[in-house]
Structure 1
Amino acid sequence: MSEQTQGKKSFFDGNFGRFILPAIILQSTLIGGGYATGREIVAYGAKFGSLGWIAGLAIFLGFGLMAFLMFEVARIFRAYDYKSMVKNLIGPFWFLFDIIYLLLAVLIISIMAAATGSIVESTLGINYWIGVVGIAVIVGILNLYGERLIERFETYGTIALMIGYIIFGIMVISTTWDDAMQVFASGNTSYVSDFSIWAIIWSGIIYVGYNLAVYPAALFTVKRQKSIKDTVVSGLVAGVLMTLPWFLTYFALMGFYPSEDVFGAEIPWLQMLDGYGTWVVVLFGIVVGWTLVETATGMIHAFLERLDNNLEELGKKKLTKKQSGLVAFITLAASVLLAEVGIMDLVSKGYTALGYGMLIVFGLPLITVGPYKIYKHFKEKKQKADTVA
């Protein structure tokens, strides 16, 4: 590559890279484990019927706040991998995050791989293993070519996925709008009983906690951010992008509330799309396969960034492109095998524990230590400016 080519700035290096790209990487990594099937929206909001939007609001605020705090702490301390980030938050206990992150990443990818393989097989007619291995190869290739390809793939991929979910949402909501409005008009919350407003809010908080594992995937994009304005705007954009699919799915689900056929289904979206034609089911299969690619790519890339940082600290060379691609492929393949041999049942029981663990070692420090460090940084900066003046 020539110096002239290297010196050229792309669209990704301007305002888009500073304000929008970090949010897109977060949303694209989240979408597989958070929205693909619709099951998560049922469990963390839609089950509360007409009041479920409260959980959605809590999720929006939580996602946006966490994104801003992580972006700003990363920007201030140049912590562009999760080890450096967590060291600034919990010091010598950073290894606890490492353990929880890896377990949660493998678990999320395992569950997504198993679900995706089955969905792709039933919707596209592609053999389970051909579908999953094909996805593993794509993830390996993306990590082989690194950040620039991942940025572009996940940007364009997220646009395509959002178009897909908007199409699904419009189709379902437009035909079930009257039923959904009846749910809100009557205040229907009959799918669950004996709950408080706090229980709904807490449901949203736990949902944010489960998904904190996707946040490190966006750290490498913070290198372009220059000021707190950049992190505030990109945090707000992240909150919107990460919550939009939640609300689309929520309002679609309200048209079927409280049907057990939909709310009790493993893949509510497939139930809601039943009867719209084969092409819709095929499109859904493609969308779900793509969500696994984006989620796995984002989470594995964050792990590779952490490995490279650790190798640099030890005075060793970073992973080569081939090594990065191979690690990505092996990680995804191992996740698939774990799901197949029945270990998924075991680790699934620890899902809640890992979610709480992520809240403790990352969520709580981010909303307590994070603001303190940001305040301290700006205070010291002001004192230096006053001294010079």
Structure 2
Amino acid sequence: MPSKQNGFSLKRVLLPGIILQSVLIGGGYATGREIVEYGGKFGAGGWISGLAIFVGFSFISILSIEACRQWNVYDYKSLLKKMIGRGWIIYEIVYLMLAILIIAVMAAAAGEILYETVGFNKWIGVLLIVSLVGLLNYKGDEVIAKLETIGTIALFAAYILFAVLVFSTRGDSILAVFSRWDTSYLPEAPSIGLLIWTGVLYVGYNLAVYPASFFTYSGIKTKRESIIAGIISGLLMTIPWFLTYFAILAYYPDKNVLAGTVPWLTMLAPFHPIMIVIFGIVVGWTLVETATGMIHAFIHRIEKEVTARSGQPMKKMSKAYISIAALAASLLLAQVGIIDLVSKGYEIMAYAMIAVYGIPLLFFSRKLLAKG
């Protein structure tokens, strides 16, 4: 009988998806604004974007895991050097810009939501989140993995609850959108090409979440496990998208929802006030998870560089300071506003991430998939 180390392990193939989903949910789903821009606004046709997103996430996950496994590299600097050589520095710049942008969106949302739902002063909420992120990065890999696993389960449960509430009261509205193939929020019906490309762009700007999961790939031992882990990752990363998408369709084409800064607040308003409170808490924790995951990946790269040069591991307090500095930069950017950050900032960063990560990875896809 194979040992647990060498045999198939459910934990090994689940962990990459759990970490990816926990980091993605902040920049990808939390406010609902992201789903409006990358699918919801298309009404009945938006599911095609969602399908493209699932395929894209699954394929990129498989390739990323296989690249790390076959090349035996588990930090993004080493991986990028394998793919684009000295061009890795460009990725560093793009990654940091996108990470700060994603955290800025979450910070802007969290400050507003915590104020409106829980009654926290915006800066009290921000300082609390900054402290938690710094603390988690201070504690290290094991604590991050454990808390993000717990957090992911809680987030999934909350979003399922929110979606079920909407579906149970407005399910007929969702069916009506499909029955009349309603795409009326936009002046013209979207083409298949636009729907698919929108899904590609969504995957593109969210490519920044992958380095946060590289440390979990070391447990993957075979290509079979890579494929299973990749598909599971794709599912975990896409299910919340569809839950939010269908919830948005329940109000389609209501501009109060589709043009809202935080669509979930409008969608949950008719229900018991406790739902809004739960949403506020969930989004607050989502920001913590997102910021922690993305900053953790950056710190991991810096730590490797410091260790290589000095022979000494990076101090935990230094990790906490880096976390706080990155969050401070994000908070400044957050003043731009959620809608502009999502609609304009994310699209620009999507093209950049596709250029420095997606295309190079696809270039090696044939070799990675052909090799055992």
Q: TM class by shorter-chain length?
A: over 0.9
Residue 326 of structure 1: how far off its partner (Å): 2.0
User: In the aligned structure 1, how far is the partner of 2:314 from the partner of 2:337?
Assistant: 30
User: In the aligned structure 2, how far is the partner of 1:268 from the partner of 1:350?
Assistant: 19
Match for residue 311 of structure 2 among 305, 309, 316: 316
Residue 40 to residue 94, structure 1, CA distance change in 2 (3 Å): same
Superposition pairs for residues 235-250 of structure 1, below 5 Å? 235-250=230-245
Residue 359 of structure 1: how far off its partner (Å): 0.3
1:55 and 2:28 equivalent? no
Normalized against structure 2, the TM-score is what?
0.94
Residue 159 of structure 1: how far off its partner (Å): 0.0
Superposition pairs for residues 124-135 of structure 1, below 5 Å? 124-135=118-129
Residue 343 of structure 1: how far off its partner (Å): 9.9
Query: What corresponds to 2:27 in structure 1?
Result: 33
Match for residue 100 of structure 2 among 97, 106, 124: 106
Query: What corresponds to 1:3 in structure 2?
Result: none
Match for residue 78 of structure 2 among 75, 84, 93: 84
Query: What corresponds to 2:201 in structure 1?
Result: 206
Contact kept, 8 Å, 1:161 with 1:287, in 2: the verdict is yes
User: In the aligned structure 1, how far is the partner of 2:279 from the partner of 2:222?
Assistant: 40
Query: What corresponds to 1:267 in structure 2?
Result: 262
Contact kept, 8 Å, 1:133 with 1:333, in 2: the verdict is no
Contact kept, 8 Å, 2:16 with 2:229, in 1: the verdict is yes
- 1:130-189 C-alpha deviation (Å, 9 max, x unpaired): 101101111111111100000000000000000000000000011101111111111111
User: In the aligned structure 1, how far is the partner of 2:125 from the partner of 2:325?
Assistant: 16
Contact kept, 8 Å, 2:33 with 2:339, in 1: the verdict is no
Contact kept, 8 Å, 1:69 with 1:371, in 2: the verdict is no
Contact kept, 8 Å, 1:210 with 1:356, in 2: the verdict is yes
User: In the aligned structure 1, how far is the partner of 2:341 from the partner of 2:113?
Assistant: 21
Residue 274 to residue 216, structure 1, CA distance change in 2 (3 Å): same
- Give the match's secondary structure for 2:183: coil
1:372 and 2:367 equivalent? yes
Contact kept, 8 Å, 1:17 with 1:221, in 2: the verdict is no
Contact kept, 8 Å, 1:107 with 1:344, in 2: the verdict is no
- Give the match's secondary structure for 2:364: helix
User: In the aligned structure 2, how far is the partner of 1:298 from the partner of 1:186?
Assistant: 41
1:299 and 2:294 equivalent? yes
- Give the match's secondary structure for 1:314: helix
Counterpart residue identity of residue 332, structure 1? L
Equivalent residues, number: 367
Q: Which has the larger radius of gyration?
A: 1
Query: What corresponds to 1:286 in structure 2?
Result: 281
User: In the aligned structure 1, how far is the partner of 2:339 from the partner of 2:285?
Assistant: 24
Normalized against structure 1, the TM-score is what?
0.90
Contact kept, 8 Å, 2:109 with 2:338, in 1: the verdict is no
Q: CA RMSD in A?
A: 2.2
Superposition pairs for residues 56-205 of structure 1, below 5 Å? 56-192=50-186, 193-205=188-200
Residue 346 of structure 1: how far off its partner (Å): 9.4
- Give the match's secondary structure for 1:79: coil
Stretches of structure 2 that go unaligned for 5 or more consecutive residues are none
Match for residue 252 of structure 1 among 239, 247, 263: 247
1:44 and 2:38 equivalent? yes
Q: Which stretches of structure 1, 4 residues or more, deviate above 4 A after TM superposition?
A: 342-350
Counterpart residue identity of residue 214, structure 1? V
- 1:82-124 C-alpha deviation (Å, 9 max, x unpaired): 1011111111211110010011111111121121111111100
User: In the aligned structure 1, how far is the partner of 2:261 from the partner of 2:367?
Assistant: 42
Residue 373 of structure 1: how far off its partner (Å): 4.3
Counterpart residue identity of residue 358, structure 2? G
User: In the aligned structure 2, how far is the partner of 1:316 from the partner of 1:336?
Assistant: 34
Residue 282 to residue 347, structure 1, CA distance change in 2 (3 Å): closer
Q: Report the identity percentage.
A: 48
- Give the match's secondary structure for 1:237: helix
User: In the aligned structure 1, how far is the partner of 2:162 from the partner of 2:88?
Assistant: 41
Counterpart residue identity of residue 162, structure 2? F
